[in-house]
Amino acid sequence: MRIYHAGFSVKDLDAAIAWFQDMLGMEVLRRAERQCGADDSVAGIPYAKTRSAHLRFPGGDVSIELIEYVSPRGTPVVNSANNPGAGHVGLEVDNVDEWYEKLKARGVKFKNIPRGFSPSGRKAVYFEGPQGLMLEFAQPPAKKA
């Protein structure tokens, strides 16, 4: 077994795609539109009409799925890290501080400054993606000589 993708519901699919492409350099793998019947919705929402896209980093093998429920529309959630059921996607980067400065300069809201959080030297920071999505940059520990 392996992780195939992580998924997020979004209010505006096109705006979310543009954010992931512009801010993080992701590419669209595929897009789809679907009108479900009474009992064929994978998510269990009868008669859902959806627009979706899978994005990934160039050369990557795990995707992020963005789904817009055209109908029925959902209710935005408060995606705070301490709320049960809240989620985030961690993105491994070579230099957390560089990404922090780059995206902060472009108006991205971070939850804190990058912090070391383990004796190994791993460093991380949470930030807000489009439409309330929670993301994390994580820098692996420096390799020992």
CATH number at residue 120: 3.10.180.10
User: Within this chain, do residues 55 and 12 fall inside the same structural domain, yes or no?
Assistant: yes
At residue 104's C-alpha, the angle toward residues 110 and 132, to 5°, is 45
Nearest Cα residue to 142 out of 114, 119, 113? 119
User: Within this chain, do residues 97 and 67 fall inside the same structural domain, yes or no?
Assistant: no
What pLDDT does residue 101 have? 97
What pLDDT does residue 145 have? 60
Residue 81 inside a domain? The answer is no
Residue 134 inside a domain? The answer is yes
Return the structure tokens found at 58. Answer: 């160039």
Q: How confident is the model at residue 84 (pLDDT cuts 50, 70, 90)?
A: confident
What pTM did the predictor assign?
A: 0.90
What is the 8-class DSSP label of residue 116? E
Stretch 72-97: mean pLDDT: 89
70 or 42, higher pLDDT: 70
What pLDDT does residue 29 have? 95
Residue 44 inside a domain? The answer is yes
Number of domain units in the chain: 2
Q: How confident is the model at residue 144 (pLDDT cuts 50, 70, 90)?
A: low
